[in-house]
Amino acid sequence: MARKKKHEEGHVNHERWLITYSDLITLLMIFFIIMYSSSNVDKKKYAQVAQSLSAALGEGSSSNGANVISSDTPLNINDMPQEVKDEMAKAAAEAKAEAAEKNKLTEVKGKIDSLLQGTGLQTSVGTVIEERGLVVSLKDTVLFDSGSAEVKAERAATITEIGKILNTIENYVRIEGHTDDVPIKGGLFKTNWELSVVRATTVTRMLIDNGGVNEARLSALGYGQNRPIADNSTEEGKGKNRRVDIVVMDSKFNQVENNKK
């Protein structure tokens, strides 16, 4: 029984975001009902709006199957205020775009996960979809020797293949270097910050030269010890903090990456 429980806990549902998306649609429906009811309309029109929204967003039911509101009188959408119709159209377009983006990043994540499994690196590289996009986090020992910014020869092919996968989409990509908080003593670099910058730049150059990624899509950043994801008081934590993150940015940040106002 214990073995079965462990197996069940290890199972990861990569489509859990669909549940959140469904709840978001329901909340949007409630939001628009409240907006419309706060305007100067009679109760009959309010019921008509509620019924129309309920039908459009799921047969008059919420995500848990409970009936929201009903009316036997159909609503002509032209009866709704223009600002409400505009907000509805905008919210629907944004929700559709967000779902499409999540699907795209999930597909890329799956391709990278398959690549890592084929190279035996799945335990040394993590992939996760966050608010800012897909983060591929590589432990420093996977790519570099201690204190070095030169990618190990046996890992060059992995960077190249990741680059090829990145070429299947057009998202901007950030390569971020990170270290633990142990000061550097001797060697080529004077500070952790310098080491993290050069490591990020090295991976970026490989994505361009070997993976064929358009350099206009890429940026390299070094954070040194200043963006830890674990406690530096333990060796395990330090090992997690020493990493290079390849961040496939969500398309909603395109304007920021383009530096447009």
pLDDT at 54: 58
64-74 pLDDT, tens digit per residue, is 444 444 445 55
pTM beyond 0.75: the answer is no
Average pLDDT, the chain: 81
Q: Of 125, 106, 105, 129, give the one whose Cα is nearest residue 115.
A: 125
Q: With cut-offs at 50, 70 and 90, classify the pLDDT of residue 258.
A: confident
42-68 pLDDT, tens digit per residue, is 555 556 556 655 555 554 444 444 444
| pLDDT over 90 (residue 239) | yes
Q: Answer whether 190's CB lies under 8 Å from 237's CB.
A: no
96-114 pLDDT, tens digit per residue, is 888 999 999 999 999 999 9
| pLDDT over 70 (residue 80) | no
pLDDT at 67: 47
Q: What's the whole-number mean pLDDT along residues 214-227?
A: 96
Report the sign of the C-alpha dihedral through residues 52, 94, 107, 12, in that order.
negative
| pLDDT over 80 (residue 247) | yes
| pLDDT over 80 (residue 178) | yes
More confident residue, 86 or 168: 168
Between the CA of residue 129 and those of 104, 122, 212, 250, what are the distances in Å? 11, 16, 24, 9
User: Measured in whole angstroms, how far is the alpha carbon of residue 190 from the centre of its chain?
Assistant: 34
| pLDDT over 60 (residue 119) | yes
134-167 pLDDT, tens digit per residue, is 999 999 999 999 899 999 999 999 999 999 999 9
15-28 pLDDT, tens digit per residue, is 555 556 666 666 66
| pLDDT over 80 (residue 230) | yes
Highest CATH level, class, for 100-257: alpha beta
**Which DSSP letter does residue 152 get?**
P
Q: Which tokens hold the place of 193?
A: 């910050």
| pLDDT over 90 (residue 228) | yes
More confident residue, 88 or 157: 157
Give the domain ranges of the chain. Answer: 2-80, 100-257
| pLDDT over 50 (residue 8) | no
Portion of the chain with pLDDT greater than 90, in percent:
56
